[in-house]
Structure 1
Amino acid sequence: MNRSIRNTQQETTMNLHDTPHLAGPQPEELVPSRYALKVGDIDVLVVSDGVLPLPTQMLGHNAAPSVRAAWLKDMFLPQDAFDWALNAVVVRSGDRTILIDAGLGSDPDLHLPRAGQLIRRLEAAGIDLSSVTDVVLTHMHMDHVGGLLVDGVKERLRPDLQIHVAAAEVAFWEAPDFSRTAMPEGFPDALRTAARQFTRTYHNQLRQFDEQHEIAPGVVVRRTGGHTPGHSIVRLTSGADALTFAGDAVFTVGFDHPDWFNGFEHDPEEASRVRGRLLRDLAKTGELLVATHMPFPSVGHVARDGDTFRFVPVFWDY
């Protein structure tokens, strides 16, 4: 069996944490909300933060409405709005337990009751917040930092927690530019508020890097820009295995239409170039991909399909 997609409760319990591992989803949940795999000697747990309903125009606001409607029809998706997945990742490498992105948290003004589940689901997986040594932020949109702003969470984190984020990202949110985005009403204000609150709350824990930084053996974060100026991806490597967590560089529609502009992209042209380069690289290497807004657990490979790409999900290993 390919070690990169091995999924066992025993391995997760032994390697990710020392607390008892619950056998399955909580009684009120009808579907799994976490998926474990191995990347060589690195333990990985993809955790769902829930789903975020958004207008379908957000998928490609530069595309003709008829073309966008045809793509949605081909994908058996609704024409008006659909649920974006929200995925975060827990990584264990050596003596470091690393949370990559922190989910949405809670913003009652946006009325998103099915999102912001990460903290509860980490607990359901038996992961104590005090065991997390590092947090890596792909960027500072609220659906990537909000979980750490939930009341009572900071007090449960270890005082020597290190939060790794690109310096360009921190600088951007001092005076963010939304002029080239296409977001629903209320989102720019909510994003701005969350980023500022996060910077104030965790200023002493921030560890800023310029272009690339190794967090732990085989865990490297690299700035790509595009989606936001400091947007970053995280690559895990161990032995012959590798996995890239792409954050918001890749969306489901991006395989068929890498040139479509996502409504949350602050520099859509650069985001499109980043997406194309990343997909070409992943298709060439064959390594695994996980991304924030692809359907849970979003673990799969990238294949070339002429001038575009295909996402090839791994077979779930129970």
Structure 2
Amino acid sequence: MNQMINNSQKANINLDTTSQTSRPGTEELVPSRYALRIGEIDVLVVSDGVLPLPTEMLGHNAALADRETWLGDMFLSKDACDWALNVVVVRSGAQTILIDAGLGLDPDLNLPKAGQLVRRLESAGIDLGSVTDIVLTHMHMDHVGGLIVGGVKEQLRPDLRIHVAAAEVKFWEAPDFSRVHMPAGFPDALRAAAKRFAEEYRGNLRLFDEEYEVAPGVVVTRTGGHTPGHSIVRLTSGSDRLMFAGDAVFTVGFDHPDWHNGFEHDPEEAARVRVRLLKELAATGELLVATHMPFPSTGHVAVEGDAFRWVPIAWDY
């Protein structure tokens, strides 16, 4: 993965490669990547930026007073909040795997704080041409948009393999938005992004039904719920384990796993999937990373009465 993790550095990134102080205008005051190891698998969590959305999206089936109480307890605005956008790069054996591809750029949506993935991969020393595989948790725009930015496809390998559930591709041929609760403009933008992605990358798609091992210790599994083909990715090496849960888990879902997220196409099934995964994570103690958890979105899950508790890791410097 080029300069992602030097073998002698283990999980630590050399500060000389992260500050980039010798190149004016490229440094960032806020960290946007975090490296760790799962046994022999190298992992890099990369921030694609943040997506500002109405807070109603966090639980549109919840009473307004309950939602505002939770937001107040979390010291968040009652009107709008920034959703993190996290992407993961994995190196297992000879394969370099990108899990999801970020939002990309859609000028009609005016989201200037998102779509940062390509330049942040570049600043991490990761060449797009080194990516052998891409795993898509699903085909919402904030997961495929980075692949349809002008000039990106030309940098990718012609033999790139893109792994996605067959049910997901089928769904986006005629997507049903009847049960979502999105801001105006988003359904049309999601339809357009999924259609363009499918057209441009059809020859690279590697479809699976329920589960597929992408690389040693890297297994993608369809969960459904959020979208019919929504999938999670499990990393296993030795006694170490990590789950990338995509959009199955949100911050509010620990306290209120039954609240419906506005982007869920089957809210009831999404809630069942969320509870099942959180119970599994609490039982195994494995690490969790998810798309919309605050960066670097790395931690454990504990049971808290009838709900759950998020336990962030201490950063390893």
> Residue by residue, what CA displacement relative to the aligned partner does 1:245-303 show, whole Å, maximum 9, x if unpaired?
00000000000000000000000000000000000000000000000000000000000
Matched, 1:138 2:137: yes
Residue 22 of structure 1, aligned match among 12, 17, 24 = 17
Residues 107 and 12 from structure 1, CA distance in 2 versus in 1: closer, same or farther, beyond 3 angstroms?
Answer: farther
Aligned counterparts, 1:148-159, within 5 A = 148-159=147-158
Partner SS state of residue 114, structure 2: coil
Matched, 1:92 2:91: yes
Partner SS state of residue 297, structure 1: coil
Aligned counterparts, 1:74-223, within 5 A = 74-223=73-222
Partner SS state of residue 317, structure 1: coil
Whichever residue aligns with residue 130 of structure 1, its letter is G
Partner residue of 2:44?
45
Whichever residue aligns with residue 85 of structure 1, its letter is A
TM-score w.r.t. structure 1 length?
0.94
Whichever residue aligns with residue 181 of structure 1, its letter is V
Q: CA deviation at 1:30?
A: 1.4
Matched, 1:232 2:231: yes
- Detail structure 1 runs of 4+ shifted over 2 Å in the superposition: 8-15, 21-28
Partner residue of 2:6?
10
Give the Cα separation in 2 of the matches to 1:111 and 1:316.
Answer: 33
Contact 2:299/2:310 (<8 A) preserved: yes
Give the Cα separation in 2 of the matches to 1:14 and 1:95.
Answer: 17
Contact 1:24/1:32 (<8 A) preserved: no
Unaligned runs of 5+ in 2: none
Q: CA deviation at 1:72?
A: 0.1
* Number of residue pairs aligned between Structure 1 and Structure 2: 308
Partner SS state of residue 237, structure 1: strand
Give the Cα separation in 2 of the matches to 1:14 and 1:74.
Answer: 37
Partner SS state of residue 248, structure 1: coil
Partner residue of 2:296?
297
Give the Cα separation in 2 of the matches to 1:169 and 1:310.
Answer: 30
Unaligned runs of 5+ in 1: 1-7, 16-20
Contact 2:299/2:312 (<8 A) preserved: yes
Q: CA deviation at 1:36?
A: 0.1
Q: CA deviation at 1:28?
A: 4.5
Give the Cα separation in 2 of the matches to 1:89 and 1:27.
Answer: 21
Partner SS state of residue 17, structure 2: coil
Q: CA deviation at 1:27?
A: 3.9
Contact 1:224/1:232 (<8 A) preserved: yes
Q: CA deviation at 1:23?
A: 2.8
Partner residue of 1:264?
263
Partner residue of 1:35?
34
Contact 2:19/2:27 (<8 A) preserved: no
Residues 14 and 254 from structure 1, CA distance in 2 versus in 1: closer, same or farther, beyond 3 angstroms?
Answer: closer
Give the Cα separation in 2 of the matches to 1:13 and 1:188.
Answer: 44
Whichever residue aligns with residue 236 of structure 1, its letter is L
Whichever residue aligns with residue 228 of structure 1, its letter is T
Whichever residue aligns with residue 182 of structure 1, its letter is H
Give the Cα separation in 2 of the matches to 1:12 and 1:27.
Answer: 26
Partner residue of 1:253?
252
Contact 2:19/2:28 (<8 A) preserved: no
Q: Give the root-mean-square deviation of aligned CA atoms.
A: 1.8
